[in-house]
Structure 1
């Protein structure tokens, strides 16, 4: 078996602190969720520092230490060498580096014990933006196995359910041989924060393993933790935003389907000439309800554009931080080769897939919105036309009947006499004045309708 020295797990975790539309209650609940990752003593320090730095906490700071001491031991009665917390603010998010280590010589299998310790500290509290595992160790003077073979053994200890390990990338960093396993498929998580459940989508797995040739190069690792903290943050913020875009596009499709189903039902009634006045009002009410769904569609569409902007900003920051990391490593370790160009693969993925896909989604969604609005406006216009026709027909009916009533009213109290003079004394209608007047109303109304319909409208 191959020994390794000072096996170390650095777990970088990220949580969203606030997002658009969050009020003070939402921000406080997310803050308390982040605080749950720490033991009680550290929580109290965080709360105290929060009160002391309240004004700074409310600003959109790029990088801010949340503890005055910067680090805190994993256990209140132990030293930092046995493990520590390193919490920071990163813009609208929280970042945490949780480190556990064994200072002496161990077998790669010892990483399993270190991971158990990490899990005991975190409990059920997961990262809402994403997390990166960094495993590192250095080798004794002689090793029978290659760095890749040792890295696979370390990986197997931490993730024992993986049958075959194939690293995506390999490089060199301040003397270490560094490997990356990056499963960029998305994992859905439901997180209980305060009194609400938040649905988030994060990267399935991201692991960095660094095998150092000696203690001297290994000790230089600590000088780069702040750079890794920033780089991995931009990495996970990009993938999280892309995950949010997938949720949003599904919502947009669902809203489109809802609106289309409703409008098709109205159009079917239009085709069947179902123009009863009560149906016209019902259709108008339905279209008013559709406007609510249109508003939701538009809101999701605008949020999708926001997530595209989030990806672009964080991609720019990622590329800048990666270049800074390269330059810093080059200056710090001039005698060792540094080649971490494989970390640029994320940039290619974002440009060739994420941004392109969201751009196409936005174009399609915008076209769909215009089609829906045009269709709804056409239906609304037709309903208004039919309403106007119904109103005109009703007014014409009133006018015609009014004419008939007016004519019948001219007979006054002489209706019976007039009837007998026209039809004779024995005609049965002349015995009932009401029926006679009703007939006069009908005849006069018909003549008025005929005159208005066919005589007045002649060219």
Structure 2
């Protein structure tokens, strides 16, 4: 990977575009089914801290009133209320804006900057329509960073909470002034945003085409490196594999018309369109995390299955240990089943949002073609998740089989213990009953009431004891013979 500082000096002197604008589109989860009000408030706070850095509870409650639950997409602040520059060190007024938007079940945050005004003192401030060098991208990055996370020294050094919890997209648009191929300029812009030139940069181009709106016509380029590993935290994944799009308008287009469209209708259309794409990407990442966790759980299940099977093969069975195994297996099953349900949810999320993404693309009139390096394939992702789920579901079957076996052994052991107790009680009962009969016979028609000492020393008492013991032994022998006969 080559640093952008290693580019030829001519690259710095060239002024290939007019009014370059860097837009950062961040997406956050707005609500999750079943979460508490406390969790919703914490999620809301994290979103608004991207706008205000710090926010008090009273202000947070006021902002909540702007949210709508009727499925409508609406701006959560007036466009003029939050302009770029209010959080910068010198409170510099920049040609930019911050738009927090309610997108049904998610938050969208649109940060855009075109740099410094040519004359900020004029009314209205005079925009900079002079041709500008590629180095302008570096300035725009720092302005976005100054708003999003002033303490970070680069985009990939942002704090975890300053990333989009659902995803993010970087959109650069400008009016081209030189005669080079738009794709070559788009590639240079992409490298500038990254801060380096990847060796396989040609493989990062995934989508090309045209964007048409009325008389406006622009070239569109999408860049995204194909992920080679997924087992990283989400914010790191976004830094490793940023989603970047470049929109280049030809020199013949009117700049005011471009600004009017992108400043009103265009930017919000792109915000919604990329929102569906980021939902698909997030669900795919989640499915990979769940798959890795389930594979770990499956290995644990196999080990437990072997341990319990070996224990059951032993001659002695510890009922307390079996009950502990059963409790752990039931807990494992609940966790395993929950993750399988979540894996199903990612599959549905990809299907729904991929369909919405394609519909929104057609509505925008985008004519796009995917390159051979494009990793966007929702149908393949859905098939892969289904394949993984079918394989991993065997772990649930294994747990169910193990639970049934443990329950069966416990029931047998408990039944065996109950039968032994009943037999002991039965033998004692027979002995006691026989002894009582002997006593009753021996003491029939007494001449006078016996004294306690006379009862103990009386031959009848000892005959009753001996008869009771004898009958108890006889019953035990008969039961043993009966069990041997059944065996």
- TM-score higher than 0.5: yes
Q: How does 1:102-141 map to 2 (within 5 A)?
A: 102=115, 103=128, 104-123=130-149, 124=159, 125-140=162-177
Tell me how large the CA RMSD over aligned residues is: 3.9
Runs of 4+ residues deviating >4 angstroms: 40-49, 199-203, 343-348, 401-412, 436-446, 455-459
**C-alpha distance in 1, partners of 2:426/2:54?**
87
Aligned CA distance change for structure 1 residues 178 and 348 (closer, same or farther; 3 Å): closer
Counterpart position of 1:325? 364
Q: How does 1:368-387 map to 2 (within 5 A)?
A: 368-387=395-414
Q: How does 1:86-165 map to 2 (within 5 A)?
A: 86-102=99-115, 103=128, 104-123=130-149, 124=159, 125-140=162-177, 142-143=178-179, 145-164=180-199, 165=201
**C-alpha distance in 1, partners of 2:348/2:392?**
17
What displacement does 1:181 show? 0.9
Out of 360, 367, 378, the residue aligned to residue 350 of structure 1 is: 378
Partners of 1:108 and 1:154 within 8 A in 2: yes
Partners of 1:7 and 1:101 within 8 A in 2: yes
Partners of 2:21 and 2:173 within 8 A in 1: yes
Partners of 2:222 and 2:243 within 8 A in 1: yes
What displacement does 1:407 show? 6.4
Counterpart position of 1:73? 83
**C-alpha distance in 2, partners of 1:343/1:72?**
38
Residue by residue, what CA displacement relative to the aligned partner does 1:329-376 show, whole Å, maximum 9, x if unpaired?
A: 6xxxxxxxxx32339997961112x11112223333444323321331
Aligned CA distance change for structure 1 residues 42 and 297 (closer, same or farther; 3 Å): closer
Partners of 1:10 and 1:97 within 8 A in 2: yes
Partners of 1:319 and 1:347 within 8 A in 2: no
What displacement does 1:387 show? 1.9
**C-alpha distance in 2, partners of 1:149/1:238?**
29
What displacement does 1:151 show? 2.2
Aligned CA distance change for structure 1 residues 456 and 28 (closer, same or farther; 3 Å): closer
**C-alpha distance in 2, partners of 1:25/1:285?**
36
Counterpart position of 2:45? 32
Aligned CA distance change for structure 1 residues 32 and 158 (closer, same or farther; 3 Å): same
**C-alpha distance in 2, partners of 1:299/1:23?**
19
Counterpart position of 1:451? 478
Aligned CA distance change for structure 1 residues 60 and 202 (closer, same or farther; 3 Å): farther
What displacement does 1:304 show? 2.0
Partners of 1:131 and 1:206 within 8 A in 2: yes
Paired residue secondary structure (2:311):
helix
Partners of 2:22 and 2:172 within 8 A in 1: yes
Counterpart position of 2:69? 59
What displacement does 1:280 show? 1.6
The unaligned stretches of length 5 or more in structure 1 are 192-198, 330-338, 413-435
Counterpart position of 1:255? 297
**C-alpha distance in 2, partners of 1:101/1:153?**
18
What displacement does 1:253 show? 3.2
**C-alpha distance in 2, partners of 1:67/1:46?**
13
What displacement does 1:454 show? 1.9
**C-alpha distance in 2, partners of 1:225/1:289?**
53
Paired residue secondary structure (1:98):
strand
Paired residue secondary structure (2:232):
strand
**C-alpha distance in 1, partners of 2:99/2:45?**
17
Out of 331, 354, 359, the residue aligned to residue 292 of structure 1 is: 331
Q: How does 1:204-283 map to 2 (within 5 A)?
A: 204-214=241-251, 216=253, 219-220=257-258, 222=262, 223-275=265-317, 279-283=318-322
Paired residue secondary structure (1:15):
strand
Counterpart position of 1:423? none
**C-alpha distance in 2, partners of 1:67/1:128?**
21
Q: How does 1:414-453 map to 2 (within 5 A)?
A: 445-453=472-480
**C-alpha distance in 2, partners of 1:235/1:394?**
68
Paired residue secondary structure (2:107):
strand
Scaled by the length of structure 1, the TM-score of the pair is 0.78
Partners of 1:134 and 1:208 within 8 A in 2: yes
Aligned CA distance change for structure 1 residues 190 and 381 (closer, same or farther; 3 Å): same
Residue by residue, what CA displacement relative to the aligned partner does 1:44-90 show, whole Å, maximum 9, x if unpaired?
A: 9985863553xxx25152411111337731123666x6111121011
Residue by residue, what CA displacement relative to the aligned partner does 1:250-285 show, whole Å, maximum 9, x if unpaired?
A: 33333344344334322212111323xxx1233124
Residue by residue, what CA displacement relative to the aligned partner does 1:274-321 show, whole Å, maximum 9, x if unpaired?
A: 23xxx1233124313321222222222222222222222111111110
Aligned CA distance change for structure 1 residues 42 and 402 (closer, same or farther; 3 Å): closer
Partners of 2:284 and 2:346 within 8 A in 1: yes
**C-alpha distance in 1, partners of 2:61/2:437?**
95
**C-alpha distance in 2, partners of 1:88/1:43?**
20
**C-alpha distance in 2, partners of 1:10/1:201?**
16
Partners of 1:259 and 1:372 within 8 A in 2: yes
Counterpart position of 1:195? none
Residue by residue, what CA displacement relative to the aligned partner does 1:123-169 show, whole Å, maximum 9, x if unpaired?
A: 131111111111222233x53x3323322322222212333322423
Counterpart position of 1:188? 232
